[in-house]
Structure 1
Amino acid sequence: MIISLLAIIQNVFSTKKDSLFFALKSEKNQNNIVDIYNKLSKEYKSLNPDSSLFYIKKAYNLSVKLKYVKGEADASYNYGTFYKRNSNIDSSLFWFENAFVKQSAYKDTIEISRALSAIGSIYSEKSDYTNAIKYFKKSLSFRKLTNDKKGIGIILFNIGNAYYSVKNYKIALENVTKAIDIFTEIDYKSGLASCLNFIGILYADWGNNDLALKSFTDALKIEENKVTQIDLYNNIGNVYVNLQNFDTAFSKYSKAYLLSKEDENLSKQAESLKNLGLVSIDMGNNVQSNQYLKNALLISEKIQSKELEASILSSFGYSLLFQQQCKNSLSYLLKSQEIANEYNLQDLTSKNYIFISEAYTCIGEGAKAKEYYKKHDEAQNQNNKELNDLSIKYETEKQDKEIQLLNKQKQLGEEQLKTKTAESKTQRIIIFAAFFFILIFIISIILIARQYRQKRKANELLASQNKQIVQQNEEITLQRDKLTEQKIEIEASINYALRIQRAVLPIENDSAEHMLGEYFLIFKPKYIVAGDFFWTTQITTMGHATLLIVAVADCTGHGVPGAFMSMLGVSFLNEIVRKSDVTQANQVLNHLRLYIIDTLKQKGISGEQKDGMDMSLCVINVKTLELQFAGANNPLYIIRNSNLKVLEQGNKLSEIQNLKVFDNIEEIKGDKMPVSIYEKMNDFTNHIVNLKTGDRIYMFSDGFADQFGGVKGKKFMYKPFKRLIAETSNLPIKEQGNHLEKVLSEWTEHKDINTGTSYEQTDDITVFGLELMNGKYIT
């Protein structure tokens, strides 16, 4: 009968999702459908995160449509949990706060407390313990209105942890002690394991490694929660480091890292990698240590955990100091201390001070080394005093509780002895023996049945797994072959697209040079095809050239998506100028905007894709040299011939002359709106400028100015770009273009401090320069 009952219970759990799907098919009430979606999202939470997110979205969207507040609150909370598991802390906080607002509307005390506690946990991960304590206490005030003792105990433990992080040991221990009393009363083993872990950390802080190791090991025996298991393995590793047993410590840290990978917990991965990096130093493997710490630092920056980032920076600094890389070590340590100061991380501060002192000693700055050693001494004395006081208080309270328990047991024994009847000793023995044999018999039956079922399930599982492995290997091989074929086809398609784009774009077109003079064009796609494009055409009357129209545009995106937009732009410009005879610069952009909005079906509604382009467009009368300019977010630079100083070969402009040329660059700014639908839809401005022979104009996208590089790995920026054009304006126009390309190449050849390689191109790059020369007209 017992075996049948166990089988029924297991079957209920295995069919829970099926029963939800069955209920979904027959349910007519829309609010109940929202509740089922929310339940399905929880069922898939660990098994299939993508499916979980799918049902969260369905629950949220339907509840908003129905104005079903409870369903919206539950979906918001599930969103928060999903983003927390995926280490998107800011999004998680947003959804938990939204859940709290909605839950407050229908006054569910348990759910309000749960949302407040979740918000507190997010602030803890962000190392904002002031807000974490605030929200945990609010959560506790609501939870105390219920009979949920387990929930109250968990919140008390979280409050204790937060107070421990800000070094308020007294209040931390008071809250954790209350949690222990509650968990003992309700026999909540996972909660007791977390408390034992906390007590073990205190013992380790007090230097009592044996008691610390016992607390951590006892906790591990009863803990089933994977996150707490990870903490315990890391803490056990820390004790073994204190005991100089580095091989065992490395083994425990590795176990913690593997568990954190299984749980997809980035925060715990970073902490475990940090510990592996530190113990690798003790084991004499510096290269391995640096790699572990570098990976840990990347994860901490990704999940925006400032306390963890500060701790890893400190560990990295210590590792580099150990390797005699003193200046690099000091840089990491000072960054760590900057975060520690901001978030009041006092334990880390004490450790950093001694490392910083040693780093300054290493580079020969004795005064600063002495200053930081003094700071360390003061911080350490304060820490030791607080920990000693806490140790005495904890041991005293522990002894008092043991004495009280013994007294109660003694009193109870005396009372029972007084109230004992004259029951027969033989009868008690018979009853006890009968109960004992019955108990042994039942236990034996349960164990035998369980072993049989486990063995049968293991055999079935092995057979199923073997079959799945064979199928998966076949599928992987097939998918690999398909991916290889798809890659070849995609590359061929993109190269074919490049040939089409090259044919359409006038990249090698000499019409501008034949009509007005010399020019240069820098055109560098980020990928094979580009989202930038350069376009030019000429308008002739009676066989004589009258207008030259030139445009430089930066479309949304780059690569294939950007190339599609550029092809649309070129096609529409040809339609507007050549077929519709629109030749006024601002009207060309006005017409082009209408074409883009109509073709892309843009409505201007929230959440719509913002596709479009930024553009500079010039219309030049080749007879009068009158220039019309219209710009969408992009400007036009003009350098007058009167401002150019042409020198003999080998000479350079003086600094004063360069400044003068820089100041005399005329910049005509474009309108602050793109060629697409936008909140501001005024006509583009038509600027008219009279040019002379020898004047130069420059049009460009944002790619050059936004390119990362240089010694510090920063953007080139517009002001240096403008100065570069000014400084090279004395060169012939084509040489000026070559020089700009050389500067760009040198800028990106600097090594990235993170990857050690040259900087990749950030965006598509287009720069066009034109010098107006007399006697170059087509007739």
Structure 2
Amino acid sequence: MVSLRIFIIMKTARALLFLSCLLLAMPAGKASSVPDSLRQLYDTYSAQNQVKKQVKILRELGAFYRENKSWDEALDSWKKALKKACDAHLSSDIQSILLDLGQLHNQRQDYPEAIRALKELLTRHLPDDVALRAEAFHQISDAYQHIGNNELAFEYELNALRDFQSLPDSSKTARSLYYIGNIFFYQHRFDSALHYYEQSLEICERIGSDRGVYSCLAAIGGLYSRMNDTPKSLKYSKAAYEKAKAMDYPTGIGYALHNLGVNYLAQDSLDLALETLLEALKIKEGLDDTWGMVSTLRNIGDAYRLKNQPRESLEYLTRALRLSEEIQSKPRILEACQSLADYYKAFGDYEQSTAYLYRALALKDSLVNEGVLEKMGDAQTRFQIQEKEAALLKKEAEIATIYKVGAISGIVVLLLLLWLVYGKYSAQRQYNRTLEHKSRQIQIQNEQLAIANEIQAKNTQKIEAQNRQLEQSNKQLQRFAFIASHDLKEPLRTIGSYANLLKRRYADQLDSDAKEFFDFITQGVGRMYNLLNDVLDYSKVDTPAVATKWVSTESVIEEIKTALKATIESQKARIVVGPLPEIQANPSHIYQLFQNLISNGLKFVKDAPPLIEIGARPVGDCIEFWVKDNGIGLDMAYQDKIFEIFQRLHGKHEYDGTGVGLAICKKIVEQYDGDIRVTSKPGKGCTFFFRLRTEFRFLNEQDSPQNAPKCDRAKANPDAQKVFINAPH
């Protein structure tokens, strides 16, 4: 029986190891095999009757389908997981699965089902995990907001905000403030909405959440559009568009284009508005974003109405109304009915216009009325009272803790004084006994020290003699390397020249093998010639008394770009240079240093065009430079090996080179009492950092950079980059 258990455990471990390796090594095009692998693992756990592991695999399978927008498959996997978790009374798994289901239904825009799943989580399986409970409150609020129940949306979001504020992750607090701003926006309480948006924006800027900053900029742009303040709306909408483009964030680009189109529409720039809105619609259709499509369709219909094109206008407006009804969103239905009422009025069908206007008024009364606002105000007042009560209780607890600490501290101090008095008495007695013993020891140590000093003096003389011999040997070795490399060039040139001459003169008499042999000769000569040049450069770096002067590193980069112009153009490479200082250095050293690093960035590349970024920043009394590329990268296990002379990580048939360039870079940096290091991941490019201890100056203090690539530092909180979607329009 024990042997059978060991066998089952070993087979399970092997299956897990196989799946992990498969997931890590699998190319993007073979992602379809992931479900099959997970199902095989699920079958293994089913045979072993390991229910908790079955639930885990079903959750991972659902997450995979959700990531690939296979909603039905994700829903099926999570429902099976929920049933098994309920049967086995796995409380924490039940809570997490119900939250997953609620989020999935929100993504599918099936808001009633989202509310049902999440309320089951809060009523039957109330989690102790504050973060999970807060996320459930937030998801329910999001669902209620989309269907137009702003009163309940506000109440649940306040609960979410209270819990999020007790957590260290400020990005969740910012998101909750943003959504409260949305709720006030749809209640036409624009001043309150702006207050919450600005609070959220301040937090996002402080924690560096780019997507959060985008969402707030887009929301404020849409808000000013509703307030008919077109200049401010354009300012924030353009800032949001530029932010989304910089992040390469399609959803953000679509919403920002929509806001810009609405502003162009307000300025009566109808052609520009249509062009911008149609582009936004295309992006949202590609993302299957029905909520966003409805608003864009409605504005396109309005634009065609203003251009007096009734057929196109009606087509887009009726489509907007149909999609709004499909997702059961009262705010979107209200907007579509208002636009259809304007359409029929513009083209003389007053009966239809009145019908849609009445429908819009009925919806508006249910969405925006004093009763809802009063209940929202009551909820906000309760929230503020609870906050004050919590602060008061916290203060009382702090005072009680201070009293306890004071009492304990007093007792400790008294005991400490007694211990010190007794200790001093005991120490004095011990001191008297020790003093005599120490005196005898000091006398012995003095005798030993005299002997040690005599030995050290002799050793110092030997070391100085050895250092002089070593220095002389290094000079002779450098001289030998210089002479040998220099003298070997002439016979190499002769071999290469005569090989090329023979190949050209007797080309008609040579077969293909002979021509290939001549090519081998000329290629070998070229590699040997490059190697000798690198050895010469390497030997010159240690030359003493090198003259220094103020060197413009920006000018050095430009010289290198000119020298490598053919390679840069053939590879369609881009070299991005940030503000760089002038430094006290030898110009040829700095040229060699940057030329080797930039050449590596151009050489060790994948299929994409090379992108090399160069920058600098002060670090204490040093100046630190970095050269970042998007090439093949390297395993950090080789981070020291690459700086050794003649060391290569790739064969000559893969990438050309001599294995000397980075060794030269290291010697140059060490000449300036500096260091050089690299950070990288395979396939993710390399970033080389090197520091020089020398004088430097930025011509403009504002050019001194504040942000640089991080090296050996903790990773930023990934939650701070989460996006806030559904900016109002």
Q: Output the TM-score relative to the length of structure 2.
A: 0.48
Q: Which has the higher contact order (CA 8 A, sep 6+)?
A: 2
Q: Which has the higher helix share?
A: 2
